[in-house]
């Protein structure tokens, strides 16, 4: 999605090459073609992509539940466990941009097959090596390798973006993103099932469940996915976007939304056990609640886009960050007062608003460049066609950069919890840091996109 552009390929009816999953004739903006041919093909590719991305998110999130199995026999303190959940987020963030570029370089179908099979790289050794006596350095390597699942989101979004006409991209990409995000609570439910049946002595069963699903995702991609051959990367767009201040403002906001979602999703189970140890003496006790926040955050994501469509992306994002700061304040107060009910309410609110913010911030990005393109046309600096082309190019590049930077928020959340527990034995400092970050985000949204002034971007 990020730096990809596509051109309509009109080489006549599908040929033998087309039957080999290359779409020689692909014109999604042509209403007749879309109605008769394009829509069924795009839907098929979307559902396979959702499944493959879902499995990727689950593998990326494996350590959010694996750490619950690591009891005293493993000899790992809470600080060490937070590092184990931080390193997958780090690698996932780093891989998002190259995974996006890989779609145009290798083709969407081929790269989906490869990226699915790469999930075996962490899953197979985890299935073999997870047992008491394994060294911490080995666990760190295994945890880091699960970061390959974080890249799958970017390549999946880039690929599906090529299949849909402009008027339907939002819904298709929302379904694709939401289905992928559901991989976080899904793997935690798998972990809960293993804990409740086999017990905490068998962490290797969790990655083992995903081995056939990984193979199935690769086989489904090989059988049912197609490649749009007109896609190309635009490295110049990345360079131009990297020099644009809006890229880094939106990246900051996306750290606050998606970074919070993935970071809290990875850390929630550990925090529950540490913050309320008397309520969660065993991993299975914490696992009953671990999946709930990511599930709500995933399901609520489309609402953020819908509200942004109706009310404006910047307005929704501004009030969403105000709500996130309030939610983090509730969590801090509840932790200090040892009020579990209030604590759970506040934390679930953070998941809800991180999901809403995911949708609203993504809606802001194209609106920013549409507004700037309209200004350029009105001032005579660009003709309408060139301005629209520039807006699409910059939107794609900014989404790619913001997606990669935003995922690093998952690292920051886990490091904040680690340092807080190391320094004071509680998470109060981490909650204060989150409140400060959300305050920075709503202040930036107000100053740049909401404050009444001359030159304010219209419609953002």
The pLDDT tens digits for 117-132 are: 999 999 999 999 999 9
Per-residue pLDDT of 234-271, as tens digits, reads 778 888 988 999 999 999 999 999 999 999 998 998 89
3 falls in which pLDDT band (50, 70, 90)?
low
5 falls in which pLDDT band (50, 70, 90)?
low
Question: Is the Cα torsion angle 329, 334, 340, 342 positive or negative in sign?
Answer: negative
pLDDT of 13 over the 70 cut: no
pLDDT of 106 over the 70 cut: yes
Which tokens in the block code for residue 36?
């008769």
Q: Which residues in 52-192 belong to E strands, given as ranges?
A: none
- The continuous run of DSSP H or E covering 85 comes out as helix 78-106
User: To the nearest whole percent, how much of the chain has pLDDT over 90?
Assistant: 49
User: To the nearest whole percent, how much of the chain has pLDDT over 70?
Assistant: 95
Residue among 207, 58, 70 at smallest CA distance from 136: 70
Q: Which CATH superfamily is domain 234-459 in?
A: MFS general substrate transporter like domains (1.20.1250.20)
pLDDT for 302 equals 79
Q: Tell how many helices (H) and how many strands (E) occur in the chain.
A: 22, 4
Residue with more model confidence, 364 or 19:
364
Antiparallel, parallel or unpaired: β 4-5 and 232-233: antiparallel
Q: How far is CA 106 from CA 48, 251, 257, 297, in A?
A: 18, 27, 31, 33
Residue among 434, 17, 444 at smallest CA distance from 256: 434
Q: What is the mean pLDDT of residues 175-191?
A: 89
Q: What is the mean pLDDT of residues 220-230?
A: 89
Burial of 135: CB neighbours in 10 Å, binned 0-12, 13-18, 19+: exposed
pLDDT for 433 equals 96
Burial of 72: CB neighbours in 10 Å, binned 0-12, 13-18, 19+: exposed
Q: What is the mean pLDDT of residues 66-87?
A: 91
Residues 6+ apart with CB under 8 A from 235: 3
Planar angle of CA 378, 382, 387, nearest 5 degrees: 95
Interatomic CA distance for residues 334 and 8, integer angstroms:
56
How many Å is the Cα radius of gyration of the chain? 22
Interatomic CA distance for residues 12 and 6, integer angstroms:
17
pLDDT of 223 over the 70 cut: yes
Q: Which CATH superfamily is domain 38-233 in?
A: MFS general substrate transporter like domains (1.20.1250.20)
Per-residue pLDDT of 38-71, as tens digits, reads 999 999 999 999 999 999 999 999 999 999 888 8
pLDDT for 218 equals 97
> DSSP class of residue 227?
B
pLDDT for 18 equals 40
Interatomic CA distance for residues 146 and 208, integer angstroms:
14
pLDDT for 310 equals 84
pLDDT of 14 over the 50 cut: no
Residues 6+ apart with CB under 8 A from 313: 360, 361, 363, 364, 367, 460
pLDDT for 331 equals 96
Interatomic CA distance for residues 341 and 328, integer angstroms:
14
pLDDT for 4 equals 60
pLDDT for 28 equals 87
| CA 318 remoteness from chain centre | 20
Per-residue pLDDT of 278-324, as tens digits, reads 888 877 777 788 888 889 988 888 788 788 888 888 999 999 999 99
pLDDT for 20 equals 66
Contact 298, 184 (CB under 8 A): yes
Antiparallel, parallel or unpaired: β 9-10 and 4-5: unpaired
Residue with more model confidence, 441 or 233:
441
**What is the reported pTM?**
0.85
pLDDT of 458 over the 80 cut: yes
389 falls in which pLDDT band (50, 70, 90)?
confident
pLDDT of 228 over the 90 cut: no
167 falls in which pLDDT band (50, 70, 90)?
confident
Question: Is the Cα torsion angle 78, 80, 81, 83 positive or negative in sign?
Answer: positive
Start-end of CATH 1.20.1250.20 domains in the chain: 38-233, 234-459
Planar angle of CA 427, 138, 68, nearest 5 degrees: 40
Query: What rounded mean pLDDT belongs to the chain?
Result: 88
Residues 6+ apart with CB under 8 A from 161: 1, 4, 169, 173, 396
In this predicted structure, which of 180-194, 274-288, 346-360 has the lowest mean pLDDT? Answer: 274-288
Planar angle of CA 401, 294, 199, nearest 5 degrees: 125
Which tokens in the block code for residue 143?
């945890």
pLDDT for 17 equals 41
Contact 351, 264 (CB under 8 A): yes
Q: What is the DSSP string of 139-171?
A: HHHHHHHTTHHHHHHHHHHHHHHTTS-GGGHHH
pLDDT of 109 over the 50 cut: yes
Question: Is the Cα torsion angle 277, 283, 285, 287 positive or negative in sign?
Answer: positive
Find where tokens 């068998």 sit.
202
């Amino acid at each position: 999605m990020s730096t990809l552009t596509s051109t309509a390929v009109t080489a006549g009816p599908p040929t033998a090459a087309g039957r080999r999953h290359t779409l020689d004739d692909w014109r999604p903006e042509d209403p007749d073609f879309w109605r008769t041919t394009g829509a069924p093909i795009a839907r098929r590719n979307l559902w396979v992509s959702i499944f493959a991305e879902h499995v990727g998110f689950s593998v990326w999130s494996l350590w959010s539940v694996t750490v619950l199995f690591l009891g005293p026999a493993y000899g790992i303190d809470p600080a060490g466990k937070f590092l184990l959940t931080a390193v997958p987020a780090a690698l996932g963030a780093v891989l998002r941009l190259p995974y996006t570029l890989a779609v145009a370089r290798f083709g969407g179908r081929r790269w989906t097959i490869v990226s699915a099979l790469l999930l075996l790289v962490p899953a197979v050794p985890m299935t073999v090596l997870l047992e008491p006596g394994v060294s911490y350095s080995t666990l760190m390597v295994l945890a880091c390798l699960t970061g390959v699942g974080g890249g799958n989101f970017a390549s999946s979004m880039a690929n599906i973006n090529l299949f849909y006409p402009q008027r339907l991209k939002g819904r298709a990409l929302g379904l694709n993103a939401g289905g992928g995000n559901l991989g976080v609570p899904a793997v935690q439910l798998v972990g809960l099932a293993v804990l409740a049946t086999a017990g905490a002595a068998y962490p290797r069963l969790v990655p083992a469940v995903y081995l056939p699903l990984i193979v199935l995702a690769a086989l489904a991609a090989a059988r049912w996915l197609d490649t749009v051959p007109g896609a190309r990367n635009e490295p110049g767009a990345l360079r131009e976007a990297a020099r644009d201040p809006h890229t880094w403002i939106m990246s900051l906001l996306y750290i606050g939304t998606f970074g919070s979602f993935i970071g809290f999703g990875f850390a929630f189970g550990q925090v529950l056990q540490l913050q309320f140890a008397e309520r969660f003496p065993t991993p299975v006790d914490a696992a009953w609640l671990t999946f709930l926040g990511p599930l709500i955050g995933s399901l609520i994501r489309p609402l953020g886009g819908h509200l942004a469509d109706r009310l404006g992306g910047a307005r929704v994002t501004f009030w969403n960050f105000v709500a996130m700061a309030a939610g983090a304040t509730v969590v801090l107060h509840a932790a200090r007062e040892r009020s579990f009910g209030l604590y759970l309410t506040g934390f679930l609110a953070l998941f809800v608003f991180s999901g809403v913010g995911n949708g609203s911030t993504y809606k802001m990005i194209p609106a920013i460049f549409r507004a700037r393109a309209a200004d350029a046309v009105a001032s005579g600096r660009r003709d309408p066609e060139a301005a629209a082309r520039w807006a699409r190019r910059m939107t794609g590049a900014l989404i790619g950069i913001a997606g990669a930077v935003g995922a690093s928020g998952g690292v920051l959340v886990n490091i904040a919890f680690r340092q807080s527990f190391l320094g004071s034995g509680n998470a109060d400092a981490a909650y204060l840091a989150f409140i400060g970050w959300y305050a920075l985000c709503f202040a930036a949204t107000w100053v740049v996109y909401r404050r009444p002034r001359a030159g304010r971007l219209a419609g953002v």
